[in-house]
Amino acid sequence: MKFRIFALLFFTVILACKTSHSTYGYDGKSGATKMVNMLHYPQEKHLKNIRQITFGGDNAEAYWSFDSSKLVFQANNKAWGLECDQIFMMDASKPLDSSEVPQLISTGEGRTTCSYFLSDNKTIVYSSTHLASNDCPIVPKKEDYGNKYIWPVYKEYDIFLADTKGNQLKQLTFEEGYDAEPTVSPKGDRIVFTSTRTGDLELFTMAADGSDVKQVTNELGYDGGAFFSPDGTKLIFRSSRPKTEAEIKEYKDLLAVGLVQPTNMELYICNVDGSELRKITDLGSANWAPFFHPSGRKVIFSSNHVSKRSFNLYMINLDGSGLEQITYDTVFDAFPMFSPDGKKIVFSSNRNNNGTRDTNLFVADWVD
């Protein structure tokens, strides 16, 4: 759900990724998407040496280890025997061979989302429904909800720790309802996550061992996909904040059955304790999957505010000024994350997929 479109998210990130496929257009006879084979668009001046590192299936929400050597990500690939998303780890410098199955981190049961390394580079936090059932949870049909684009926020999600060999170490959350979307402070001491434990989708932080839980946000709406600033003092996140009576009713009605409609979201920033909360985008449409630039003065994010039929990456200053387009895809780019050393960026995209619906991971050198 980071939307973690979102990314991901929430729901299920991969469902979010699927929204981008409409930008290809469809071949009415075969049902296949039209081919868009571009690895690097000429206008993408901040990206250099783009490499595709996964090939096939749905791969999203890739996040770096603290030493910038590994990536943890969620994937749904029929060739790997998967029915729904699971968490995997791979070497960031080596593309997966087409026949290679990366290291499984999650249990292989239920559905997972939103993984992240802890600062020891040996432990991974992630969200999963596997305690409730070995099976994939049911995906709601949008036709049952007026054909609206919706994400499920499964109440069965809890947050867990595993090591890099897939050994399950510890359960961190035990509350009734949705607990997911964990990410870790650069200091390694706190985890931020989204929970329905108060009846709404709010942000919380906790210690890396699951103790000392503190609520961060408390306004009606879906607050999620949060990340810490490089110095660990601030949070950037996406939010839908219903305002009118009709919007509030629709939001509450959907949440009551475990759903959200993430088509209108903006970015917000606040201190880790929730103070000095402010909105930094007012672009309309879906603005989500934010991540701080290594300088801490800007945020990169995904948005379809220019073209409803495609998502691209943009950069913006923390005061909402200086909006700059980073990618120029005709399909879907999202889930950007800078490596901790600031030299590289990873993102998920539908580009260069031979006309399939595959979503893959791409790594590039970052040029300021």
**CATH for 163:** 2.120.10.30
pLDDT tens per residue across span 236-258: 999 999 999 999 999 999 999 99
- 52 belongs to a structural domain: yes
DSSP element (H, E) containing 169: strand 168-171
- 6 belongs to a structural domain: no
What's the number of domains the chain is made of? Answer: 1
Spatial separation of the C-alpha atoms in residues 220 and 241, rounded to whole Å = 6
Segments forming the whole domain that contains residue 148: 13-366
- 3 belongs to a structural domain: no
- 321 belongs to a structural domain: yes
Q: Which amino acid is at 11?
A: F
pLDDT band with cut points at 50, 70 and 90 for residue 34: low
Spatial separation of the C-alpha atoms in residues 302 and 289, rounded to whole Å = 6
pLDDT tens per residue across span 317-362: 999 999 999 999 999 999 999 999 999 999 999 999 888 889 999 9
What pLDDT, on a 0 to 100 scale, did the predictor assign at position 84? 95
What pLDDT, on a 0 to 100 scale, did the predictor assign at position 308? 84
**Which residues, listed in sequence order, are joined to residue 241 by a DSSP beta bridge?**
none
* Residue matched to tokens 């449409």: 285
- 1 belongs to a structural domain: no
- 4 belongs to a structural domain: no
